[in-house]
Amino acid sequence: MNKHLFLCTAAAFFCLSLPVHADWITAPESDLTVQGGTVSARMALTGTQSLLAEIPSSEGHVMSLSFFTKDPDQPGLKLDRIPFPALQDTHMQSVRFSLIPIIQSGNGQRYYLIQTGDPEGCLIISYKDGAFNQVFSAASIPGSWKRAEIKPQKKDLLLTLTAEDGTLYYYQLNWDGKAGIFQATVLQG
């Protein structure tokens, strides 16, 4: 009984130390900024999960992401040719990629928000029962977009898309359990 109480208390303490957005528990954002050259970096997601980000300088403005579980040599999900916009710093071009782990507090489902700034690089990856799956891409929203960003808000996720003319469009992302993906609903345009 004491062991059970201790575990519940420890779990509650851990959850309370994370920022909460109503139905979403977020972990701190991890980002990788690179100035020129080729890069390959592995980031720990949990004790048994990791992400390998590879940005080959010869490929232009694209990267590949490989998600791993227990076997560090066999990716559970590999995404190739993810575009990102080059940012102009002082005299060199730089690249920024971010990863935000989120957990839906209602069911404990774990997701990873991948963001490069480009709509094709604005993704949501789910992890369930030992498997990674891509469950959303901002590029799936019809239109001509130059930027995309997802942020956890209250009970939902907010997608902001920037059109070629600079107009901002807002979408609410909701989990569709039957389809196994996030669906977007227009909030305003």
Average pLDDT of the residues in 148-159: 87
Query: What pLDDT, on the 0 to 100 scale, is given for residue 7?
Result: 36
Specify the pLDDT at position 91. Answer: 53
Number of domain units in the chain: 1
Q: Residue 68 sits in which domain range?
A: 19-141
Is residue 81 in some structural domain?
A: yes
Q: Is residue 182 part of a domain?
A: no
pLDDT at 167 over 70: yes
Q: Are 159 and 145 in contact (CB under 8 A)?
A: no
In a domain, residue 167? The reply is no
pLDDT confidence bin for 135, thresholds 50/70/90: very high
Query: Does residue 85 lie within any of the structural domains?
Result: yes
What residues have CB less than 8 Å from 46, skipping those under 6 apart? none
Look up residue 57 and give its two tokens: 């300088």
Q: Measured between alpha carbons, how far is 10 from 88 in angstroms, rounded to an integer?
A: 45
Structure confidence at residue 78 as a pLDDT band (50, 70, 90): very high
Using pLDDT thresholds of 50, 70 and 90, give the confidence band for residue 92: low
- The alpha carbon of 165 is separated from its chain's Cα centroid by a whole number of angstroms, namely 26
Strands (E), the chain: 20-21, 24-26, 30-35, 39-44, 50-55, 62-68, 77-83, 87-89, 92-104, 110-115, 123-128, 131-137, 145-153, 156-163, 168-176, 181-188
The half-sphere exposure of 12 on its side-chain side, counting CA atoms within 13 A, is 6
For residue 35, being part of any structural domain is answered with: yes
Tell me the mean pLDDT in the region 88-94.
56
Q: What is the pLDDT of residue 169?
A: 95
**Most confidently modeled of 41-45, 55-59, 139-143, 177-181?**
139-143
- More confident: 4 or 35: 35
Mean pLDDT in residue range 156-181 = 92
In a domain, 10, yes or no: no
In a domain, 181, yes or no: no
**Mean pLDDT value of segment 115-141:** 93
Residue 59 vs residue 155, higher pLDDT: 155
Tell me if 36 is assigned to some domain.
yes
